[in-house]
Amino acid sequence: MGEKKRVFSGIRATGRLHLGNYLGAMKGMVDLQDKYDCIFSVVDLHTITSPYQPATLQEDIYQVVLDYLGAGIDPKKAHLMIQSEVPYHVELAYLLGTIFPVSRLEQLPTYKDKKKEQPGYINLGLLYYPVLMAADILLYKAELVPVGKDQEPHLEVSREIARRFNQMFGKTFPEPQRYAIVGEIVPSLTGEGKMSKSVAGSAIFLTDSKEEIGRKIARVPTDLGKGEEVPKEGGVANLLAMAALFLGKKRREEYEKEYLGKGIKYASLKSELAEAIYQELEPFRQRRHYFEENPEAVAAILKEGRDYALPLAKKTMDEVKEKMGLKR
């Protein structure tokens, strides 16, 4: 048997994680750790490209670590580390930035969106974000990256950078591919777009209580419960999409038939959905609580992750610097 393919993925420490984070990335990470050599990271250097509180950053990072472990990342199967504890990420990002055009970065839709979102915090790190993301992945020569569809433009930049480097300096990096998982887009509770922590009332957080989940689902906007056509957007459409994710496609189809016939009883649908979401997250809560109560175990896991990542990163950097003529 050959060596396992390597996986890298990271999550920013920008606050509490929600169902969209869980289904969009974390469950994919859990699936991959049985088959691949996985390195997962809290990408704190990406975190600071948006407004943040330095006084709480370390606590925010730690909470994401607990969320990773709660989601089922197994330290016996995968490696968990903090991005800034491996300084080669920044060094490689700088070197890769010397071969990639600024104009391409300025065209990215995510950069344009962030400029609108945080007009008072448009910094070089924000523009450089995709190059650092490429460095995160290429530093470990990762071939698979479990990220949401919204990160696909950034992943394409990673592939472009890998191709450009390979053409200029010889074959060095694989071209990383996105690992897509079912249910990666969780709709917003407001009835518009996808779940987001930055939109009030939009998200169910992974640490929400049963009562909080029930209250939030109860507030999803609905209609009279019946019609000639099943809505394709709005609160009802989002409820049905969530029903497919958490109750199964068959149950969703049953509710759609009710909508076209005798009518949906939304109280029943919302109650069933809230219970299913709570049950989905119960194992997460139990695992997270265990690690919350065992900080020494968490510290040991992070040390192992750093110790595993550092020599791999150094080996890549030595190769890159030699090929670029920077190694004496």
Write out the chain's pLDDT in tens, 328 residues: 458 899 999 999 988 889 988 887 787 788 899 999 999 999 999 999 999 999 999 999 999 999 999 999 999 999 999 999 999 999 999 999 999 999 999 988 888 888 888 888 889 998 999 999 999 999 999 999 987 677 788 899 999 999 999 999 999 999 999 987 665 678 889 988 888 887 888 999 999 999 999 999 999 999 999 999 999 999 999 999 999 999 999 999 999 999 999 999 999 999 999 999 999 999 999 999 999 999 999 999 999 999 999 999 999 999 999 999 998 8
Q: Which pLDDT score, from 0 to 100, does residue 14 have?
A: 86
Q: Which pLDDT score, from 0 to 100, does residue 300 have?
A: 98
What are the structural domain ranges in the chain? 6-184+294-323, 210-287
**Topology annotation, domain 6-184+294-323:** Rossmann fold (3.40.50)
Query: 82: Cβ–Cβ under 8 A, 6 or more apart, which residues?
Result: 41, 42, 44, 61, 65, 302, 305, 306
Q: pTM of the predicted model, to two decimals?
A: 0.88
**CA pair distance 125, 106, nearest whole angstrom:** 12
Q: Which pLDDT score, from 0 to 100, does residue 1 have?
A: 47
State the DSSP string of 154-222.
Answer: HHHHHHHHHHHHHHHH-S-----EE---TT--PBPTTSSSB--TTSTT---BTT--HHHHHHHHHTS--
Q: Which pLDDT score, from 0 to 100, does residue 151 have?
A: 78
